[in-house]
Amino acid sequence: MKAPSTSASRRPTTTRMGTRARAASKDAVSEVAAMDALIDLMAAAKTDEELTKIVAENVLSFDQKMWMRFASRSDAATTTEAKTAVMELASKTMKLVETMVQKTESTIQESSAALQNIVGAAADPTSGEFDVPLKQDALERMKKALEKTTVDERTLNTLYAWIRKSDENKLDGMVHILQRLLQLYAARELDENSSPLDKVIRSNAEDWTMHLIDITNEGYGETAFAKDLQRRMEGVVLNLPNGSYAQRVQAEYLKEIEDRGKEFFSKKQ
């Protein structure tokens, strides 16, 4: 068999390298265009409040490449006024980004401290040890500590980060505690104290079946349960920011109750 010529064997590789180079060049041009568009948008801001809003919405875009692009824009400026305007905008933007980063770090520290306080409440008051799975008295202490705490997206973000870290480190007991904390939070947010379903929502997962028995004996049947649960789910979907941790936690909690309810009613038939 005749071996392929050297030029023929190299051609596909050269073609692939050329394609990759063109793609990389195109991506670089697009990236520069995106940075220029953001700089132009900030330069057009009429007030400091408007500039702050733009920076906050694009804070992750301000990396080393962006600061280098500011410098390139300044070097390319054709007048002293234009050069000064670019550098003043860069300086003002850098100060805004630094302030936002510091505020975020401070908020994370505050969230961590609040979560440590709630989780610590689950420990035995005498020994300081955690008895896992958590018993009723430990859950009640966590619930009381939670009532004194404002839980926002950053708090939930920190909580999920703790769960991932605990899971990676094989700390199953801590994962259990943190997951119970998510349930307590969801129950607090979803409890309307307006229907028999709230008896289930505000109770611990171990007691759901018991409360389902109680409310059905009081005339709260499967149809009412399904309608009430659907209304709560629609409220979570429509009233909370789409994709937020709050929406995720509360929707998952309602889904757990729905699954337990379906199992309960299927056994009654």
In this predicted structure, what is the pLDDT of residue 255?
97
In this predicted structure, what is the pLDDT of residue 80?
94
d(CA 218, CA 212): 10
In this predicted structure, what is the pLDDT of residue 16?
58
In this predicted structure, what is the pLDDT of residue 4?
43
d(CA 128, CA 30): 56
H or E, element range at 97: helix 80-120
20-32 burial string, b = 16+ CB within 10 Å, else e? Answer: eeeeeeeeeeeee
Reading the block at residue 166, the tokens are 């605990």
Residue from 263, 240, 267 nearest 252 by CA: 240
pLDDT mean values, one per 10 residues, the chain (269 residues): 44 54 64 92 93 86 91 94 94 90 75 92 93 94 94 90 92 96 97 96 95 95 96 96 94 97 90
d(CA 143, CA 152): 16
In this predicted structure, what is the pLDDT of residue 58?
86
d(CA 182, CA 133): 15
Instruction: Specify the pTM.
Output: 0.64
**Residue 37 CB: number of other CB atoms within 10 A?**
10
In this predicted structure, what is the pLDDT of residue 56?
83
Answer for the pair 146, 188: CB distance below 8 angstroms, yes or no.
yes
User: What is the Cα Rg of the chain in Å?
Assistant: 28
d(CA 91, CA 34): 20
d(CA 258, CA 184): 17
